[in-house]
């Protein structure tokens, strides 16, 4: 993991750097950037939105420093970077959630100062988040009209006009949604389309999409992209944030790359290979993304036999040896997380047994599981993994507090030293240990969760989606860490929805489908096709 601090000799040049300006009074004309290839396509038009030399700090952490880039009408612009590179902070500033400490935002060449999300909306900026925020009990049409509902002459809500408006928007987007149905029960993909329709109804001219595809299937992504493309062709400026490079190449014309809160480059996507982008994001070459070392598996650590829970999973059996990584694969909703949460004891189960080192574990007791040497890095970092309001220190020491106490008492030093040791081991980037863990970036939060559990000295480590929403750099670090832990004799169970991760990391793959074991595959048998076939059943025989 030493490479994490290494910097490449060839620092990427800031080709698209804004020319220094005499003062804030002069209107920024991006067209003035002569000889800049990246501006060639759009250089003859003024920017719809311009981010100019903005900076934002949270406490001691500088989230964004001196970032500038323009967004042109009729263009889809990707914003990429590792977790903690400052992308979300940029989005929040554009959405009016945060105010830049320094620097300016310009809409159509005019400086703007957003006092809140309402101001950003009024300026024509709409943001679509990874998880849409609809009112579940209101109808789709009412959600779209939220904030500027049409009224009848008697000052009643005009549902007819609302539905007609929603209908028109859906036709324009080419999606078959019923405006009168409640938002509850819509898929995430459909919810996002409703959000887009909402943005259109408020005549947004800038559409910012923060990892919209994270929870979508391939078909849904394609539908979303065709909608976004048609909006772009109608002259909207699109900013698209994603960790998936194939989506960036498919959708975007230009890309802005950020690293450690700083602007690295803004270039035409066509001019960059995926490797180029990754190298600039992480500042180094990533040779092996999934470096699971071969290890001779040792004794059996975990034995799960006939585990069942009414309506959730049925008759699940598998075992894990020390030094082994066993992946639980399957579609979302196949019951993978539920099985592992039952094994760890945070959820109950009806029948079956869980044995660790041959000894049967007490049902439904995380404390017993921990005492026996089990650790679970859960799927949902914000709700299950960490207490966001508490300090980094308190989070790391939480499962360990009883061991750190002397005569039942805890006095400052031991907790701090413990937290310091383990956050350092995992190379967590942080300001102070007393800062709330919520102030860290996603990748660093995940490192805190790992630190918290590795510090308990587990014999069996369960990781549930260990790299979800994490940038490539941290992802490689996590993979390398898991591999070296396994090499040291740890038994690992990994729940993952990412096939390359499953295939690269796992010694064996257990595929679940609808709460049952659909297949058990050795490393040699596990291919993209064999895992997906098992996960989906007969449907993808072709």
Residue written as token pair 């598996």: 297
Q: Interacting stretch for another protein, rule CB under 8 A, among 88-96, 98-106, 214-222, 528-536?
A: 98-106
Contact by Cβ (8 Å): 306, 352:
yes
Q: Is 378 helix (H, G, I), strand (E, B) or coil?
A: coil
Q: Give the residue with the Cβ less far from another protein, 397 or 496.
A: 397
3-state secondary structure string across 63-82: EEEEEEEEECCCEEEEEECC
The whole-angstrom separation of Cα 372 and Cα 383 is 24
- Smallest distance, another protein to C-beta of residue 17, A: 16
Which of 182, 291, 366, 469 binds another protein (CB under 8 A)? It is: 366
CA distances in angstroms from 505 to 214, 262, 523, 526, listed in the order given: 21, 32, 9, 11
Angle between helices 274-282 and 472-487 (to 10 degrees): 80
Token pair recorded at residue 246: 């194939």
The whole-angstrom separation of Cα 376 and Cα 230 is 44
| Measured CA angle at 410 (ends 407, 411), to 5 deg | 120
Does 373 help bind another protein (rule: CB under 8 A)? no
Q: How many CA atoms lie within 13 A of 309 on its CB side?
A: 19
Does 182 help bind another protein (rule: CB under 8 A)? no
The whole-angstrom separation of Cα 79 and Cα 87 is 7
Does 383 help bind another protein (rule: CB under 8 A)? yes
Token pair recorded at residue 383: 């709700």
Q: Interacting stretch for another protein, rule CB under 8 A, among 298-306, 379-387, 469-477, 491-499?
A: 379-387
Does 115 help bind another protein (rule: CB under 8 A)? no
Does 427 help bind another protein (rule: CB under 8 A)? no
Is the dihedral angle over the CA atoms 428, 431, 437, 443 positive or is it negative?
negative
Which of 432, 522, 525, 540 binds another protein (CB under 8 A)? It is: 432
Does 386 help bind another protein (rule: CB under 8 A)? yes
Q: Interacting stretch for another protein, rule CB under 8 A, among 3-11, 238-246, 409-417, 486-494?
A: 409-417
The whole-angstrom separation of Cα 268 and Cα 256 is 9
- Smallest distance, another protein to C-beta of residue 394, A: 7
Does 424 help bind another protein (rule: CB under 8 A)? no
Does 385 help bind another protein (rule: CB under 8 A)? yes
Q: Give the residue with the Cβ less far from another protein, 452 or 508.
A: 452
Q: Interacting stretch for another protein, rule CB under 8 A, among 312-320, 324-332, 397-405, 477-485?
A: 397-405
Does 63 help bind another protein (rule: CB under 8 A)? no
Which of 229, 262, 284, 394 binds another protein (CB under 8 A)? It is: 394
Q: Give the residue with the Cβ less far from another protein, 59 or 235.
A: 59
Contact by Cβ (8 Å): 140, 175:
no
Does 402 help bind another protein (rule: CB under 8 A)? yes
Which of 408, 529, 538, 541 binds another protein (CB under 8 A)? It is: 408
From 257, 367, 379, 369, select the one nearest 328 (Cα to Cα): 379
The whole-angstrom separation of Cα 255 and Cα 268 is 6
The whole-angstrom separation of Cα 171 and Cα 177 is 9
Does 97 help bind another protein (rule: CB under 8 A)? no
Which of 19, 27, 102, 360 binds another protein (CB under 8 A)? It is: 102
**Rounded to the nearest 5°, which phi and psi values hold at 48?**
-75, -45
Which of 57, 130, 353, 530 binds another protein (CB under 8 A)? It is: 57
Q: Interacting stretch for another protein, rule CB under 8 A, among 225-233, 237-245, 407-415, 422-430?
A: 407-415
Binding site for another protein (CB under 8 A): 55, 57, 60, 99, 101-103, 346, 366-367, 369-370, 376, 378, 383-390, 394, 397-399, 401-402, 404-405, 408-411, 432, 434, 452
């Amino acid at each position: 993991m030493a490479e994490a601090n290494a910097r490449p000799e060839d620092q990427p040049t800031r080709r698209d750097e804004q020319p220094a300006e005499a003062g804030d009074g002069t209107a920024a004309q991006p067209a003035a950037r002569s000889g800049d290839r990246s501006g060639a396509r759009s250089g003859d038009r003024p920017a719809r939105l311009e981010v100019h030399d903005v900076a934002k700090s949270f406490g001691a952490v500088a989230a964004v420093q001196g970032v500038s880039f323009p967004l042109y009408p009729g263009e889809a612009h990707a914003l990429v970077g590792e977790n903690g590179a400052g992308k979300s902070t940029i989005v929040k500033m554009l959405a009016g959630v945060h105010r830049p400490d320094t620097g300016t935002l310009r809409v159509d060449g005019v400086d703007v100062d957003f006092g809140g999300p309402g101001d950003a909306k009024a300026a024509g900026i709409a943001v679509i988040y990874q998880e849409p925020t609809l009112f579940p009990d209101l109808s789709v049409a009412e959600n779209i009209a939220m904030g500027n509902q049409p009224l009848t002459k008697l000052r009643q809500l005009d549902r007819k006009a609302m539905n007609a408006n929603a209908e028109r928007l859906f036709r324009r987007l080419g999606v078959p949604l019923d405006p009168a149905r409640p938002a509850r029960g819509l898929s995430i993909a459909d919810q996002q389309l409703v959000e887009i329709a909402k943005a259109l109804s408020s005549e947004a001219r800038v559409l910012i999409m923060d990892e919209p595809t994270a929870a979508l299937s391939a078909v849904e992504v394609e539908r979303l992209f065709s909608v976004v493309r048609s909006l772009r062709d109608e002259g909207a400026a699109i900013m698209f944030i994603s960790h998936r490079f194939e989506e960036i190449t498919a959708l975007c014309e230009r890309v802005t790359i950020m690293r450690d809160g700083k602007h690295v480059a803004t270039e035409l996507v066509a001019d960059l290979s995926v490797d180029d982008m990754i190298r600039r994001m992480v500042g180094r070459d990533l040779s092996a993304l999934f470096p699971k070392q071969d290890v001779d598996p040792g004794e059996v650590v975990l034995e799960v036999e006939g585990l069942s829970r009414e309506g959730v999973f049925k008759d699940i059996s598998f075992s894990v040896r020390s030094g082994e990584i066993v992946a639980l694969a399957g579609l979302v909703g196949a019951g993978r997380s539920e099985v592992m949460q039952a094994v760890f004891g945070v959820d109950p189960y009806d029948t079956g047994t869980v044995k660790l080192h041959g000894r049967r574990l007490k049902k439904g007791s995380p404390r017993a599981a921990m005492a026996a040497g089990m650790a679970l890095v859960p799927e949902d970092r914000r709700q299950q993994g960490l207490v966001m309001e508490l300090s980094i220190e308190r989070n790391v020491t939480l499962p360990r507090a009883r061991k750190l106490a002397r005569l039942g008492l805890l006095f400052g030093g031991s907790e701090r030293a413990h937290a310091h040791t383990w956050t350092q081991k995992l190379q967590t980037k942080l300001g102070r240990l007393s800062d709330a863990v919520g102030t860290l970036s996603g990748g660093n939060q995940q490192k805190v969760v790992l630190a918290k559990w590795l510090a308990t000295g587990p014999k069996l480590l369960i990781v549930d989606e260990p790299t979800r929403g994490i940038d490539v750099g941290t992802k490689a670090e996590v993979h390398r860490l898991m591999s070296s832990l396994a090499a040291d004799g740890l038994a690992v169970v990994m729940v993952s929805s990412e096939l390359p991760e499953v295939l690269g990391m796992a010694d064996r793959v257990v595929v679940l489908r609808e709460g049952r074991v659909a297949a058990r595959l050795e490393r040699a048998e596990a291919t993209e096709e064999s895992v997906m076939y098992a996960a989906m059943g007969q449907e993808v025989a072709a």
